[in-house]
A and B are shown apart, each in its own frame.
Chain A
């Protein structure tokens, strides 16, 4: 089983990206499932993702990198037993540390994760604010990112997007950076090179 963790701060476009991925991005015949983690008590994003027709399991009212870490392992085990997915897309909460998420799914009985990738989404419009307010969680996410996706590129001028990318590089990230619009799918062509 492969794991794809779609990380990113609050409102960065994680659910929109997953909806795009579920809409024909993965090769035909690949069995895809989603684990959705929402801070809220009511599963707003889960209801949307379920309309894709893919199996969606939700964990609510906490964070899978800390309070709900055990729930993630159990959910993966149940998914593996009932559906045998080829790839599980995991959407943690905005402040989750994806490295902790990855550690929590190692050595889970009945689950063999043979590859795990982390994507980090960044809302271009509020990158500076997020970096100022949540530098540590952002650094944690960037430290394990297979790719950084600069999202909502329609909200700021092109030269400002360059500044956002410079800012990401300035935080020590050296991997691929893609400029996308998760709501339309623009710029996602290269994503397959990273995660497929």
Chain B
């Protein structure tokens, strides 16, 4: 799923790095993937077979709009049989603002 999300993000943004942590009990899987090739690398792996998992996917793609990224994540999560909820976005909501340093409604840096 993270690979597919990253490849699709790479088609709409300049450069990106997507990360995900999945938990099952006290076990953790931590993976990441750049938007270049969709190769997923793991930092921490599950120590045993797991059942239901919950987790967080962090998608950071420069010059890509929030709504489009959200749609990609939602579609790929659903295709993987996962239910996705989204953290409320903060920072700049201006679709015409492409400043990666922009942090708010008034274009603070």
| Chain-B contact segment, one of A36-44, A109-117, A141-149 | A36-44
Give min CB distance, A139 to chain B, whole Å: 15
Report if A125-B37 is in contact (Cβ < 8 Å); known contacts: A44-B19, A45-B19, A51-B28. yes
Question: Is A194 among interface residues, defined by CB-CB distance under 8 A?
Answer: no
How large, as a class, is the contact surface on chain B?
20 to 34
A41-B87, A45-B19, A129-B15 known; A10-B60 Cβ under 8 A: yes
Does B14 make an interface contact (CB < 8 A)? yes
* List of B residues within 8 angstroms of A67 by Cβ: 103, 108-109
Name the distance in Å between A149's Cβ and chain B's nearest Cβ: 16
Please provide the chain A residues from 49 to 74 with a CB less than 8 Å away from any CB of chain B in the complex.
Answer: 51, 61-63, 66-67
Within the complex, which residue of A19, A66, A134 is in contact with B103, where a contact is CB–CB below 8 Å? A66
A15 with B43: CB separation less than 8 A:
yes
Whether A47 touches B28, Cβ cut-off 8 Å, given contacts A16-B43, A41-B90, A67-B108, is yes
Structural contact, A44 and B20, CB atoms closer than 8 A? yes
Asked whether B62 is an interface residue with its Cβ less than 8 Å from the other chain, the reply is yes
Chain B residue with minimal CB distance to A42? Answer: B56
The interface residues of chain B lying within 8 Å CB-to-CB of A38 are 58
Contact with A along B6-50 (1 / 0, CB 8 A): 000000001111011100000010101010110101011000000
A47 CA / B43 CA spacing, docked (Å): 11
Residues of A within 8 A of B28 (CB): 47-48, 51
What string of 1s and 0s marks CB contacts (under 8 Å) between A145-184 and chain B?
Answer: 0000000000100000000000000000000000000010
Q: What residues make up the interface of B, taking CB atoms closer than 8 Å to A?
A: 14-17, 19-21, 28, 30, 32, 34, 36-37, 39, 41, 43-44, 56, 58, 60, 62, 87-88, 90-91, 100-101, 103, 108-109
What is the interface of chain A, defined by CB distance below 8 A to chain B?
9-11, 15-16, 19, 38-42, 44-45, 47-48, 51, 61-63, 66-67, 94-95, 123, 125-126, 129-130, 133-134, 155, 183
